[in-house]
Structure 1
């Protein structure tokens, strides 16, 4: 199913009006919303590229842990456990403030 939806850009405080084409539950095109009273049919390059920001090819899909040889993929549970342990260690050493 293909349908245009009215939306607003969230990449800056101007919140320009956008029209977004959704095909098969995925954004495929973006154009300025000519009916938007705030932006009056204008959208900057950043706003027109929201599809790129939503679906970047190099988007991280799992946590990465730094190792001496680079980065390795770890589970979300392992990542959260290790972060919590390090934060607890900081509080234990330096206090809560």
Structure 2
């Protein structure tokens, strides 16, 4: 029986990661509490943390939904929130 080469193993691992990454990215759960890591940056204009930027990028597909929510609208649609999005390299979507 022939054993797989290490390059075959690497290719398999890369393909697996790509497939799992695709599934994870399509299974986004919109949860505005995920953006709590950005609260300080949004309310006091401080520099957003890496965690904030990661959460913002994860929740980006949900931002238009948050803007339509009267309870979240003022916070999510504020100039500071938009500045945080730009600083994180994830500009606010056009809703």
What TM-score does the superposition give when structure 1 sets the normalisation length?
Answer: 0.27
- Work out which structure has the larger RCO, using CA pairs closer than 8 Å and 6 or more positions apart in sequence: 2
Point out the structure with the larger strand share: 1
What TM-score does the superposition give when structure 2 sets the normalisation length?
Answer: 0.27
- Tell which structure's C-alpha radius of gyration is larger: 1
